[in-house]
Amino acid sequence: MTDANREPHWETVYTTKGEHEVSWFQENPAPSLELIDLARPTPESAIVDIGGGASRLVDSLLARGFRRVTVLDISQAALETAKARLGERATEVEWVVADVTKWQPARTFDIWHDRAAFHFLTDPADRSAYLACLQQAVRPGGHVIIGTFAIDGPEKCSGLPVNRYDAASLAKELGEGFELVDSRRQDHATPWNSTQRFQFCILRRTG
């Protein structure tokens, strides 16, 4: 996928499909919340959800009292869906429409969360740009949580090819300066009850 057709792809997805018509829909983002807990956050921890889309993770974070939540996505329509669902509470969130491979974060975060966005970056140059952004955005001692399709997970997501990872290969992508804290596999049930194998990792920025 080229830079130019990435945004139209996702805008089409979110303007033509309902919440329950996308494979990644999750009523309860429990796997993400478990790993966020491992980072021992406080209500003041700054958390960014990269490629957050219309995910309900932001609802759970606000319900848990987090006050510095940012949701970034390439699709404006996805963020509008999340905002509409949250109603007045949407004003408590910072919403960023951006391609993460081009984003220039204005400040640092304690927790970087990404469920099923990084795995679309099949071009090494895009992964380098993502990692450069991540390094700018995550403070030393901060945590990175990334969920991708597992090695034995699907080869495509939303009709696009993905890279699949295990904990070792994902940690290798992040490279020196990040230590693997924990990892787990998760079987995600799509709205039509097929199973997608995910790999989640939490890493700590050491340097």
Under the criterion CB under 6 A, does residue 41 sit at the interface with ligand SAM?
A: no
Under the criterion CB under 6 A, does residue 53 sit at the interface with ligand SAM?
A: yes
Residue 103, CA atoms < 13 Å, CB-side half-sphere: 26
Site string for ligand SAM, 60-89 (x = CB under 6 A): -------------xxx--x-----------
Handedness of CA 11, 164, 193, 85 (dihedral sign): negative
Under the criterion CB under 6 A, does residue 202 sit at the interface with ligand SAM?
A: no
Under the criterion CB under 6 A, does residue 118 sit at the interface with ligand SAM?
A: no
Helix ranges (H only) for the chain are 3-16, 30-38, 57-63, 76-86, 124-137, 167-174
The smaller minimum CB distance to ligand SAM, of residues 73 and 110, is found at 73
Interface size with ligand SAM, residues (CB under 6 A): 20
Q: How far is the CB of 206 from ligand SAM (least distance, A)?
A: 26
- The CA distance from 196 to 163, in Å, is 14
Handedness of CA 101, 72, 139, 205 (dihedral sign): negative
Q: Which candidate, 198, 92, 89, places its Cα nearest to that of 153?
A: 198
Under the criterion CB under 6 A, does residue 10 sit at the interface with ligand SAM?
A: yes
Under the criterion CB under 6 A, does residue 153 sit at the interface with ligand SAM?
A: no
Beta bridge partners of 157: 160
- The CA distance from 140 to 75, in Å, is 29
Under the criterion CB under 6 A, does residue 55 sit at the interface with ligand SAM?
A: yes
Contact region with ligand SAM (CB under 6 A), list: 45-53, 148-156, 183-191, 196-204: 45-53
List of residues contacting ligand SAM (CB under 6 A): 6, 10, 24, 51-53, 55, 73-75, 78, 99-101, 115-117, 120, 157-158
